[in-house]
Amino acid sequence: IKKTLAKPGVKNIVLVDGVRTPFLQSGTIYADLMPHDLARAALQGLLNRTGLPKDAVDYIVYGTVIQEVKTSNVAREAALGAGFSDKTPAHTVTMACISSNQAMTTAVGLIAAGQCDAVVAGGVEFMSDVPIRHSRRMRKTMLSLNKAKTLGARLSLLGSIRLAHLAPELPAVAEFSTAETMGHSADRLAAAFGVSRLEQDEFALRSHTLAKKAQDSGLLSDVISFKVPGKDIVSKDNGIRPSTMEQMAKLKPAFIKPHGTVTAANSSFLTDGASAVLIMSEEKALAMGYKPKAYLRDFVYVSQDPKDQLLLGPTYATPKVLEKSGLTLNDIDVFEFHEAFAGQIMANLKAMESDWFAQTYMGRKTKVGAPPMEKFNSWGGSLSLGHPFAATGCRLVTTVAHRLQKEGGQYGLVAACAAGGQGHAMVIEAYPQ
């Protein structure tokens, strides 16, 4: 057994448990729900799983990326609907694909600061319905219409509407700062690191194969069953589809045409899903009779150029968090990295393996090294399980805790990239069994 990462004067904070709804391809069974419905399901699932008294929760933090404007503080709407006490405050955070990581570390912060003892964190993403807006011109006309006092003024405003103003504005998975879609950036990143189409397809196939195996062997125990109103009970992720290399090779590039390498098959797909975790101070958890699953230890957030290094967050975050914890890559037993694109994962692995990159761009003397593949995302990843943007972080942390228990390791590492050129990593320590 390796040493514990507890630090004198720092509170031990534990993950009591974590759950998630099945992650479904958007436009499938969840299609008619609203985001807070999914979030509610995850929160209720957590209550059921932990048997937590509803009034024992001090605070709720929830992440979301594409906001439903009617429920902009989705944390509060979901909490009320899930039957939490109306005396429990809730707020929503957003940090692209690391939104629920942010929710969890916010919880950690609240507990560490002594302000709370038990916090629920989570995240939801609902891509089956997204806010599609009127054009700015049309919105302006409509808002002016509210203020127009006379019929004449109203008619003249209505008369100013042109056909072009009716064209809607669709949300895009694109950087606001560069207007580049994430898939396009991933393709360029893969090219920059010389990641071939073959390598990407192989990695994607690995993800699906491992996910299928984990699903079939019942390892994905964080998934709760969810009775969808008007539909059946859903209890499995529906995006896991191991294909063949031949089938995958047939696909045309999705973003950079015709010579790109990122395809629909080696990218994560649009997903609906929600997740939730219960985080407590160790004292409180033990006092309430819980057997925690893991300690949440050091974490870092990093950010870099959103144009050319959009998805390199794990490369920057990993050495930083390891140093903070006084660990090396070899000490880690379990790696869970967010798989946005196979090309992005492969590019990060190559960057982490490169002394030149570490010296030239990270100001480090040497590379941190790439994680050994046998410890890496061995129950599948975002490519196969799905990637509801703001729900993925909790899945990663819960999976690390479960894998540590299952595989008997002591330290786990979570790392993820996010839009905006940001990234996150966290060290997790198994709770002594």
Partner 1 sequence: GGSLLCLSLSAARTHVSYEVKDNVAVVRINDPTSKVNTLSRHMQAEMVEVMNEIWGNAAVKSAVLISRKPGCFIAGADINMIQACKTAEEVTSLSQEGQKIFDQVEKSPIPIVAAINGSCLGGGLEFAIACQYRIATKSKKTILGTPEVMLGLLPGAGGTQRLPKMVGLPAAFDMMLTGKNIRPDKAKKMGLVHQLVDPLGPGLKSPEERTIEYLEEVAVDFAKGLAGRKVTVEKKKGLVQKIQDFVMGLPPVRKQIYKTVHSKVMKQSKGLYPAPLKIIECIQTGIEKGNAAGYLTESQNFGKLAMTSESRALIGLYHGQVTCKKNHFGKPERDVKKLAVLGAGLMGAGIAQVTIDKGVATILKDTTEEGLARGHQQVYKGLNDKTKKKSLTTFERDGIMSLLSGQLDYRDFENADMVIEAVFEDLSIKHKVVKEVEAVIPPHCIFATNTSALPIKDIAAASKRPEKVIGMHYFSPVDKMQLLEIITTNKTSKDTTASAVAVGLKQGKVIIVVGDGPGFYTTRCLAPMLAEAVRALQEGVGPKKLDSLTTGFGFPVGAATLADEVGIDVAAHVAEDLGKAFGTRFGGGNVEVLKMMVQKGFKGRKSGKGCYVYGAKSKEKKVNSGAEDILKSFKLTAPPAVSADEDIQYRLVSRFVNEAVLCLQEGILPDPVQGDIGAVFGLGFPPCLGGPFRFVDSHGADKLVQKMKRFEEAYGNQFTPCQLLLDHAKDSSKRFHK
Any idea which residues carry the catalytic annotation?
97, 387, 417
Does 188 engage in binding with partner 1 (CB under 8 A)? yes
Does 251 engage in binding with partner 1 (CB under 8 A)? no
* Tokens coding 387: 């990637």
Paired with 426 in beta bridges are 299, 414
Q: Which of 254, 236, 152, 239 is nearest to 200 (CA)?
A: 254
Phi, psi of 20 (to 5 degrees): -150, 155
Does 308 engage in binding with partner 1 (CB under 8 A)? yes
> Pattern 10-49, binding to partner 1, x per CB under 8 A?
----------------------------------------
Q: Select the residue interacting with partner 1 from 360, 372, 373, 407 (CB under 8 A).
A: 360
Contact stretch for partner 1 (CB under 8 A) within 37-45, 61-69, 186-194, 404-412: 186-194
> Pattern 192-231, binding to partner 1, x per CB under 8 A?
xxx-------------------------------------
* Tokens coding 104: 């969890």
Contact stretch for partner 1 (CB under 8 A) within 54-62, 170-178, 205-213, 322-330: 170-178
Q: Which amino acid is at 121?
A: A
Consecutive H or E run containing 416: strand 411-418
DSSP 314: H
Does 359 engage in binding with partner 1 (CB under 8 A)? no
Work out how close the CB of 163 gets to partner 1 at its nearest, in angstroms, rounded to a whole number: 21
Does 259 engage in binding with partner 1 (CB under 8 A)? yes
- How does 392-409 read in b/e, with b if 16+ C-beta sit within 10 Å? bbbbbbbbbbbbbbeeeb
* Residue number with CB closer to partner 1 (35 or 421): 421
Does 136 engage in binding with partner 1 (CB under 8 A)? no
* Residue number with CB closer to partner 1 (42 or 310): 310
* Residue number with CB closer to partner 1 (127 or 347): 347
* Tokens coding 332: 């880690």
* E-strand stretches of 175-321: 226-227, 233-234, 271-281, 294-303
- The whole-angstrom separation of Cα 412 and Cα 297 is 10
Contact stretch for partner 1 (CB under 8 A) within 28-36, 202-210, 212-220, 351-359: 351-359
Does 350 engage in binding with partner 1 (CB under 8 A)? yes
- The whole-angstrom separation of Cα 389 and Cα 396 is 12
Does 174 engage in binding with partner 1 (CB under 8 A)? no
Contact stretch for partner 1 (CB under 8 A) within 76-84, 98-106, 191-199, 230-238: 191-199
Work out how close the CB of 346 gets to partner 1 at its nearest, in angstroms, rounded to a whole number: 12
Provide the 3-class DSSP secondary structure of residue 415. Answer: strand
Q: Which amino acid is at 385?
A: L
- The whole-angstrom separation of Cα 77 and Cα 36 is 6
* Tokens coding 202: 């192989």
| β-strand pairing of 59-63 with 90-93 | parallel
The residues binding partner 1 (CB under 8 A) are 176-179, 184, 187-189, 191-194, 256, 258-259, 305, 307-309, 347, 350-351, 354, 356-357, 360-361
